Structures are given as C-alpha cells and as structure tokens.
Structure 1
Amino acid sequence: MTITGTPVGDVELAVVTPVGTRRRDPLPLLVAHDGPEYSRRSHLLSALRAATADGRVPPNRVVLLEPGDRNARYAANPLWGDALVEHVLPALHTAYALDGRPTLMGASLGALASLEAEWHHPGTFGALFLQSGSFFRRRVDDEEDFEFWGRVTRFVTNVRRVRRRRTDARIVLTCGGDEGNLANNRQMAETLAASGHDVSFTEVPGRHDWPSWEHAFDPHLLDLLDLAARRSRE
C-alpha cells in the first residue's frame, strides 16, 4: 500500500496476512518500523509463523513500514507520529478488520519513533516493543554529530520530566549488553517506571544489530503479543 497526503509525504508499506484468513477477519495488528529489514535480516515473519503454528501467539497481521527518509522521520519527529496515527492506521482500519489496539515495534531510531508516536497520541497502541532505542541524552551518549541530536534529546528530556503515566500501553524494552545504547535504555526504563508506566527492561546478549534483535524475539516479543491478545479479549 501507498498512503498519500501524510505530513511526511507518501508512506510505503506492505501488509502480511496469515494464510487462510480474509480481510474481514478481525486479527491483531503488529506494526513494524523498518519492516522490510526486520523481515529480511531478523526473520520477523518466520518467527511469527513458527510461534503461531506452535500456539504461542494468535495469528497477527503484520505491517512492514518502509522507512523512507529514515533519520528525518524516525528521529523524534512528531510529524511522523501524526502520519502513522492519523493516516496510516485509518487506512488500515478501512482495508482490514482489526482486533484490539495495534502493537508497535522498532529498533534503534525505530524504537524511538515508536515511543514518540504513542507519547503524542496516547491510547493508540496497546503495546510497544522497543529494541535498543536511540534515547540519546547529553552526558550519556557521544552522538552530538547526529543531525537530529537536538530533537532527540529534547524529546527524551520531555519524557523524563513527566511525573504521571501518559499511556496505558504495555512497554517492553530490550537492549544488548555490548552496545552503546545500553545506559540510555536502562535510564528510559527507569524513567517510565517512575512515572507509573507498565514497563519492563531486559538486557540481552548481543550488539546493536539485526541478529541480536532477532534473538530477543523469543520470548520478549512473543510474550508481548500473547499478552496484547489476551488484553483485547478482556
């Protein structure tokens, strides 16, 4: 699908529907930033097919988002959150029957974009799966040369200033023990917990790369999808 007329231009995506289901069958929805890379390099769809076959998660429709101008869109850009919530999701609701609130996932800047979208549109997503998020902070991260450093650090600072829960989404963070984002992920998890959010953080083996993110799917993503499905039935 191509979603036109959004604040960041056209958004390209692919929708993967489980075999044997139809558009009008209400199914949970998983939306993945950097979706094609998640599929090709972290074998996201294969992991979900296997888990579904084993009865660990229900069948999910999966939206694979093309990043486009990735840094400009994903680096704490509120226009990207607006495009996702106000344009992409309504188009999906028109084309498919959905069960419950979607789960949103991403890695690195995609994790940051996932949190930003729910932060500015609370209640849109039922769950967030954030891998190695680029939650940059001054005096913690040596990334000042990144072109959107100021925008990212301002958003992270705003999150840290919140004193009460902003979203009821279940938030699961994972981060590799051998990567540079470990400290800021720990701090983000502590910040969210202190303001009353439903959050967990797990340090996993690995680095800031697709194989490490793939290894964290089981059990962390699978457990989150199972929980999101059970909550939608309550």
Structure 2
Amino acid sequence: MPETMVSAVEGAEVVFRLGDPEHALTGVRLWEELGLAAEQLEFKPVEGGWELRLPRPSVHRMEYLFDIAGTGMRTDPTNPRIVGGAFGEHSWLPLPGYVEPDWITIEPIASSLTPLPVEETPVGPIDVQVWAPDGITPEFELPLLLAHDGPEFAMYAGLTHYVGALVADGSLPPLRLALIRPGSRNLWYAANPQYAEALTQHVLPAATSAYRSKKPVLMGASLGALAALYAEWHHPGTFEGLFLQSGSFFSLETDPQESKFEYYAEVTEFVTSVLTAGTAPSSPSIAMTAGTPEENVHNNRVMAAQLSKLGLEVAFDETPDMHNFTAWRDLFDPCLTDLLNRVWD
C-alpha cells in the first residue's frame, strides 16, 4: 500500500483514503455521524486506491467507517485510532484544537466493583454494580452517583476511571457510583412510569440499604437523560442533582423526524408537560450538555431554557462533537465535576 494512502486532516480538508492498488473494489462510501449529503460520501478512484475529500467540518473530532461495496462496514485500516461504542467500533480523527481530557492520564484510586442485583421491580430484575473506593466500609456515609447505561459509560467513556482519578487528585470527594445496566432500554427509558418507580422505589433503596449514602445524583445520556428527568419529575425530591447529556427531549416542534420511534407519543407527552409547566415539582441542581452539531441540541436548548425559567439552577454546555460516548466523556470535567461539587458542597 503506498504511504500516501493514509487518512488525514490536510489544511481545510479531511481526506479519507483506502488502499486498493488493483482497484479490485467496486466502490467505497463513508459512514459518518454529521448527516452529510449522500452525494458527498462517495470515494473516487485514484492512483493506489480510493480517496474522498471533504471540507473540514465544524467538529473537533470525527468518527467514521468505510462502507465497502460487497463487503460492508469496516474501520479504517490505516488509522490506529479506534473508539468503542454501543454500536461497535469506529475509526476517528482528531481535528485541529482537539485535546483529550487530562484525567485520562491520572492514576485512579484503588476501588472495587460489586454486583447489587435488584430482583423485584415493576419492570423485572435490574442489574446494578456499585463502584466504591477500597478501604471504606459500606457503613461509612458517602455521596452517591447513579448512572443510567452505567456499564456502557464505564466501558466506552471511562466513567469509573474518571471518578477514581478525580477522587485521587482531590477534585471530587470520595463517593460511590451505581452503574445501572439497561434492560429493555427503549421501553424502560422512554418516559415509562413503571421504570421510574423501579428506579426510585427499588434501585435507589437497594443501593442506600447496602451502602450508607447521601445526596444522590442521577446521570444519563440520550434516552437515559430523559428517563432521569422523568424520574425526578414524577418522584420529586428523590435526587439532589441531575446530569443530562444529549437528552432525547423530543417535541412535536423540534423533532418531527423522530415520529417513527415506537415510544414517540410517550416521550413527547412528557416533554410537553414539562415545557408547558408553570412550576417545577422539585428543585434539583442540573447540568446539561449536548453536541453543537447533533440533532438533539435543539430540544436540549429548549429544555434548558424552560427548566431555568421554572427557577431551577441549570448549567448548559455545548461541545463541537456528536451523539457518542467520547463526546459525553469529554464533558465530564468540568461539567459533571462542577455539578457534583455544587451538590455535595
């Protein structure tokens, strides 16, 4: 493969290349998250293989795959940067200005991950794992952070490393983290009253019974963020804080394109009730994040404005990235850090 057949950022362009000296392939397309027009994504045959040139997009990192005719999706064989996610591995390129979080390089405190199955709930068994610092007994009271899609956040966004690293360097107090595994994710998280009851009346009490806890904060992304707000809205006062990332706050005005989602009616009904409310049932501290180019940014801006109008303390931050675990990871610090310190004083 010629050395030049390497994907890279070149000035005002991002250039994707795939080596194929004999041009045995019949075609290559780019899969990406930015929603570019289909006609922009076709590679052209060049000497040594295939090439696609795109104007540099307004993001600071770009995830992608090669869609090879007759073969299917694959990562870029010339690019060692691979990131995992709920839908498999993607190649990615950093664009000028992108810097990974400092906490990635910090050695976390020693910790243990302990299963805490919650068997009897309105939606059936819920699998929970509790991350806790070593050397602190369950009887010692610590603040509690609960995470929707917790195992995925730990695997793909380094959530347990983040809390361990920031406790290690003193940016966060010692805490415990409950990782909640989604079961029937769409059903549970899409404004489901049974799941909200399971979370607030079963999962949280199980965690606080096993570990002496205070000032619980709940975090989630996408539908997990929606489910977090729904749970606190319908069981007010349960959580001291909410960390909501790229929430699926679908409304008829901002998200008609989501109308085929099987629980669209349930989601939009709840979102409408919040957007038309004159008062909030409780007053948790809230931090919200979204990617400036992502589709959900519009409904997140609307939701943040409404929650602020209702008198809640809301910090809202955007990042030039898309709807993925790395984008969410990159905003843990300072956004989640600031929220936790605000709530836990």
TM-score (norm 2): 0.65
Offset at 1:104?
A: 0.1
* Alignment-derived partner of residue 2 in structure 1: 117
Match 1:139 to one of 227, 243, 253: 253
1:111 aligns with 2:225: yes
Q: Which runs of 5+ in 1 are unaligned?
A: none
* Matched-pair identity in %: 48
Q: What SS is found at the alignment partner of 1:28? A: strand
Give the Cα separation in 2 of the matches to 1:203 and 1:16: 28
Contact map agreement 1:170 1:198 (CA 8 A) in 2: yes
Q: Which runs of 5+ in 2 are unaligned?
A: 1-115
Larger Rg: 2
Q: What SS is found at the alignment partner of 1:62? A: strand
Higher relative contact order (CA 8 A, sep 6+): 1
Q: What SS is found at the alignment partner of 2:182? A: coil
Match 1:41 to one of 147, 152, 156: 156
TM-score (norm 1): 0.96
- Superposition misfits of 4+ residues, deviation over 6 angstroms: none
Offset at 1:89?
A: 1.2
Task: Spell out, residue by residue over 1:115-136, the C-alpha distance to the aligned partner (whole angstroms, 9 max, x if none).
Answer: 0010001111000000000000
Match 1:155 to one of 270, 277, 300: 270
* Alignment-derived partner of residue 18 in structure 2: none
Task: Spell out, residue by residue over 1:34-58, the C-alpha distance to the aligned partner (whole angstroms, 9 max, x if none).
Answer: 0000000000111111111111111
Aligned length, in residue pairs: 229
1:1-234 matched pairs, under 5 angstroms: 1-98=116-213, 100-141=214-255, 142-230=257-345
Contact map agreement 1:43 1:214 (CA 8 A) in 2: yes
Give the Cα separation in 1 of the matches to 2:246 and 2:341: 22
If each structure's helix is expressed as a fraction of its own residues, which one has the higher value? 1
Coordinate RMSD, CA, aligned: 0.9
**Which amino acid is 1:31 matched to?**
L
Contact map agreement 1:166 1:197 (CA 8 A) in 2: no
Greater shift in the superposed pair: 89-98 or 182-191: 89-98
Give the Cα separation in 2 of the matches to 1:160 and 1:66: 29
Give the Cα separation in 2 of the matches to 1:180 and 1:58: 35
Task: Spell out, residue by residue over 1:62-95, the C-alpha distance to the aligned partner (whole angstroms, 9 max, x if none).
Answer: 0000100000000111111100111111111211
Greater shift in the superposed pair: 176-185 or 88-97: 88-97
If each structure's strand is expressed as a fraction of its own residues, which one has the higher value? 2
